[in-house]
Amino acid sequence: MQLKEDKIGGILVLKPLDKRFDAHSAVDFKARMADFVSSGHTVIILDLSEVDFIDSSGLGAIVSALKTIGRNGDLVLCGIKETVMSLFRLTRMDRVFRIFTDQGEATAALSS
C-alpha cells in the first residue's frame, strides 16, 4: 500500500494513495501502523480521500490500528467518500471513530 506521510506539528498525517483498501493492502497497512506507533507516533490522522472501496479486511486493519495506538494516543479519520462511509455506518464504526470532513478540520480538533 502506498502511503503519503506528512507531519503537522506532532500529528502524523497518513493518506493511502491506493483506490482500494482490501485484504491485499490491509496486511501491509497493519504492519506499517505498528511501525509508526512503535517509533512514537501516537496521534494520527488517516485521510481516506483517495479510497473508493474498502472491504471488511481494510476496515479491520483500521480498527487494529486504533487498538495498537491505545489510550495513549488518538487515531481520527477524514476525507471519507460516501461509498466508503456507507460501510462505516453499516458496521457502526462511525460511532467508534472520530470522523472529520478534511485534514484541516481533523488537525484543528486534535490541536485543541
- Tens digits of per-residue pLDDT, 21-59? 999 999 999 999 999 999 999 999 999 999 999 999 999
Residue 25 lies in a domain: yes
pLDDT score for 108: 96
- The whole-chain average pLDDT of the chain stands at 96
pLDDT of residue 82: 97
pLDDT of amino acid 102: 98
| Phi-psi label, residue 2: left if phi above 0, alpha if psi -120 to 50, beta otherwise | beta
CA–CA distance, 47 with 17 (Å, rounded to integer): 10
109 domain residue, yes or no: no
Residue 108, in any domain of the structure: no
Q: Look up the domain containing 69 and give its range.
A: 3-102
**Residue 42's CATH number:** 3.30.750.24
Domain count across the chain: 1
- pTM of the complete model: 0.95
